[in-house]
Structure 1
Amino acid sequence: MSRSIYSDKEKALLASYREDISKAVEVMNAGGVILYPTDTIWGIGCDAANAEAVKRVFEIKRRSDAKSLICLIDSDAKLQFYLNQVPEVAWELLDVADKPLTIIFDGARNLAPNVVAEDGSVALRITRELFSKQLCFRMKRAIVSTSANISGMPAPQCFSEISDDILSAVDYVCASRRNEKRRCQPSGIIKLGSGGEVKIIR
């Protein structure tokens, strides 16, 4: 008999998230922009394959589109869909990471052009947190994840710190996890070179 990968507590949480996630996916599939909780801080998100939606994210943040965006995925297997090649060292880094880790990879594919940096690289993170993981799973595509602040302003560390400018600019604000009081931090960031070089960005 197969055993569920989720505990009873996680199953209950997933049940409470179901309607919220369905609405968020519906909005993103229609080209909309959402505000949602992640494995780090709250993020502004959209379908990472939809260039028009990505353009709106840049506009909401008042950020130059010359800067690339982080994208979330829900599993190791998805890496290979969005990259020409996954360096062996990436698997090693993911195996030992004890907190959320964003990796900048060369050779991006199957993403909106304005998600990808000028050098062809893309920042991807595999989320292990229950809500954002299920959101990515249900979306079936990578989701943009950029901090919920106007560019140049401090990144909010909990929902209550998100500005009205951001709240009013998105198409849907997720209801889940709004009341959490813990202070969240951005992920670590590592850039991998084509030859396997590792550079710590943050």
Structure 2
Amino acid sequence: MWLQTQLFKIPFMLEDIKKACQVLRDGGVILYPTDTVWGIGCDATNAEAVKRVYAIKQRTDSKALLVLVDSPVKVDFYVEDIPSVAWDLIELTEKPLTIIYDGARNLAPNLLADDGSVGIRVSGEKFSQQLCQRFRKAIVSTSANISGQPTPSNFSEISDEVKSLVDYIVEYRQDDMSHPKPSSIIKLGRGGEVKVIRE
């Protein structure tokens, strides 16, 4: 029965991904499930779209935004020089891990930190992974709340205000009532130094 339910959902998920990709290509902002909490997302290479995400969050752009990609190979396109330890961390992690890298490239300048670094997470969650794969670019992922307000752990906790400000709301997993936690965050220096920001 469970398998039948999952197979029944696949066409709807693919249609959702198709619609979300079109909105992203048009410079829009989406609300979507990730490997952690629900996220506000946009094309990570589009500075105007990134600007809108900051406006929705009511947050200054002095705080960087992280991005999702669908595979470790994609990280190389967005970071100039990846310390070798990064590959081990990505491969061995058992829970969502965001790695902050120095020397970001090929991304909207206004989503980077002041020092030019960027947080990238390789998603292992079905929907966000396929979304990144089909969109073929990194996608911004920031928690679906106004800055300073509690982070919603599932779709039902997202405020109507946030929902009203995005261009597309993904239907997939709206009924998921689990309470995932934010990812762990590690900062890597160019020499391979590891600093744990959030466990």
Deviation at 1:12, TM superposition (A): 5.6
Deviation at 1:15, TM superposition (A): 2.8
2:155 alignment counterpart = 159
2:59 alignment counterpart = 63
Q: AA paired with 1:164?
A: D
Which runs of no fewer than 5 residues in structure 1 stay unpaired?
1-6
Q: Choose the corresponding residue for 2:31, options 11, 35, 54.
A: 35
* C-alpha distance in 2 between matches for 1:21 and 1:166: 20
Task: For residues 94-139 of structure 1, give each alpha carbon's deviation from its aligned partner in whole angstroms, at most 9, with x where no partner exists.
Answer: 1210000000000100000011111010000000110000000011
Percent of aligned positions that are identical: 58
Task: For residues 132-183 of structure 1, give each alpha carbon's deviation from its aligned partner in whole angstroms, at most 9, with x where no partner exists.
Answer: 0000001100000000000001100000000011000000100100001111
2:80 alignment counterpart = 84
Change in CA separation of 1:195 and 1:143 when aligned onto 2, cut-off 3 Å: same
* C-alpha distance in 2 between matches for 1:91 and 1:105: 12
SS in 1 for 2:45: coil
Task: Output aligned runs, 1:114-129, within 5 Å.
Answer: 114-129=110-125
Change in CA separation of 1:89 and 1:12 when aligned onto 2, cut-off 3 Å: farther
RMSD between aligned alpha carbons?
1.5
* C-alpha distance in 1 between matches for 2:137 and 2:86: 20
Deviation at 1:16, TM superposition (A): 2.8
Q: Quick check: 1:14–1:131 contact (8 Å CA) kept in 2?
A: no
With structure 1 as the length reference, what TM-score do the two structures score?
Answer: 0.94
1:131 alignment counterpart = 127
Deviation at 1:195, TM superposition (A): 1.3
Q: Quick check: 2:81–2:190 contact (8 Å CA) kept in 1?
A: no
Q: AA paired with 1:198?
A: V
Change in CA separation of 1:12 and 1:128 when aligned onto 2, cut-off 3 Å: farther
* C-alpha distance in 1 between matches for 2:174 and 2:66: 22
Deviation at 1:194, TM superposition (A): 1.5
Q: Quick check: 1:65–1:114 contact (8 Å CA) kept in 2?
A: yes
2:172 alignment counterpart = 176
* C-alpha distance in 2 between matches for 1:131 and 1:175: 11
Q: AA paired with 1:22?
A: K
Task: For residues 4-56 of structure 1, give each alpha carbon's deviation from its aligned partner in whole angstroms, at most 9, with x where no partner exists.
Answer: xxx99876654330111111000010000000000000000000000000000
Q: Quick check: 1:48–1:142 contact (8 Å CA) kept in 2?
A: yes
Change in CA separation of 1:11 and 1:79 when aligned onto 2, cut-off 3 Å: farther
Q: Choose the corresponding residue for 1:53, options 35, 41, 49.
A: 49
Q: Choose the corresponding residue for 1:24, options 16, 20, 30.
A: 20
1:194 alignment counterpart = 190
Change in CA separation of 1:88 and 1:174 when aligned onto 2, cut-off 3 Å: same
Of 7-16 and 96-105, more deviation after overlay is shown by: 7-16
Which runs of no fewer than 5 residues in structure 2 stay unpaired?
none
* C-alpha distance in 2 between matches for 1:135 and 1:13: 15
